[in-house]
A and B are shown apart, each in its own frame.
Chain A
C-alpha cells in the first residue's frame, strides 16, 4: 500500500468555520493532489502540487486553498466552510515517471458542514 494518510478521517463543522485537512505521504513523491467526491460527479480535482511551494488550481478550486511547505505534507484549507463543501475528500500522490503515472489515493476524509 502507498504510504498516504489523511487527517482527520471524519469532521463535522459549522458554516463559516475554517477547516484544514492534512495529507501526509511517506513515498517522497513529487506530485500530490486533492479531489472531492460527490454522487454522480466521480472525483473532481481541487488543487494539486508539483513540488514544495508549487501548487496549481484544479477544476473546482473556488473556496479552497492549499499549501505545501514540505514534500511529505499537502494541506487543504476551506477558509470559510459552506454546506456545498460537504463531501468526501481524497488526497492522491503520483510518481510521474515515464510509465508510472498512476495516482495512489489516501483513505479519504468525510467532511460535513452544517
Chain B
C-alpha cells in the first residue's frame, strides 16, 4: 500500500526566513507521480507541482523549490524568503499508476505560519 508521511505538523517562521517541508513516501510501483498542493486559509486546494518518478531534477519556481530524491523516497519543498501570504497548509501526495485510476494518497499536511 502506498503511504505519504509529512512528519512536521506545523512550522512557524518569521517573514523572510526559509522554510523546508519534508515529504517521505512509500510505494512498490516503479512509475508514480508526486504532487504538492497548497491550502490557504480560504480552504481551496491549489496545485503547485507534479513530478514523475523518472525525473529527479530539482525544480525552482520563483521562491518555491522542490528536491526529489528517489534514493531516500523524499520530495521536499522549500519556500525561500517566506512571506505572510505563504501561510497555508501544504500537502504532499502520491498517485498510483494510470491503470488504477490515478488515485492520490495524501500526507497529513504541514501547516506553515509565517509571522510578519
Q: Which residues of A contact B (CB under 8 A)?
A: 31, 33, 35, 40-45, 48, 50, 56, 58-59, 88, 90, 92, 94, 96, 99, 101-105, 107-108
Whether a CB of chain A sits under 8 angstroms from the CB of B25 is no
Whether a CB of chain A sits under 8 angstroms from the CB of B108 is yes
Instruction: For chain B, residues 32 to 72, give those with C-beta under 8 angstroms from any C-beta of chain A.
Output: 33, 35, 37, 43-45, 47, 50, 52
Query: Within the assembled complex, what's the spacing in Å between the Cα atoms of A76 and B105?
Result: 20
B4 contact set on A, CB distance < 8 A:
42
Q: Which of B9, B33, B103 contacts A58 (CB 8 A)?
A: B103
Q: A101-B50, A102-B35 are in contact. Are A42 and B101 (CB under 8 A)?
A: no
Complex contact B101–A101 (CB within 8 A)? no
Query: Within the assembled complex, what's the spacing in Å between the Cα atoms of A90 and B46?
Result: 12
Majority secondary structure, A binding face = strand
Query: Within the assembled complex, what's the spacing in Å between the Cα atoms of A88 and B70?
Result: 33
> What's the minimum C-beta distance from B114 to chain A, rounded to whole angstroms?
21
Total of A-B residue pairs, C-beta within 8 Å: 60
> What's the minimum C-beta distance from A101 to chain B, rounded to whole angstroms?
5
Query: Within the assembled complex, what's the spacing in Å between the Cα atoms of A102 and B103?
Result: 10
A99 contact set on B, CB distance < 8 A:
52
Query: Within the assembled complex, what's the spacing in Å between the Cα atoms of A88 and B108?
Result: 14
> What's the minimum C-beta distance from A6 to chain B, rounded to whole angstroms?
11
Known: A40-B9, A108-B43. 9 other contacts (CB 8 A): A33-B104, A41-B108, A42-B93, A58-B103, A90-B45, A101-B33, A101-B98, A103-B35, A108-B44
A59 contact set on B, CB distance < 8 A:
105
> What's the minimum C-beta distance from A41 to chain B, rounded to whole angstroms?
6
Complex contact A102–B101 (CB within 8 A)? no
Complex contact A42–B91 (CB within 8 A)? yes
Whether a CB of chain A sits under 8 angstroms from the CB of B87 is no
Q: A102-B35, A105-B44, A108-B43 are in contact. Are A40 and B106 (CB under 8 A)?
A: no
Q: A40-B108, A41-B108, A42-B108 are in contact. Are A101 and B102 (CB under 8 A)?
A: yes
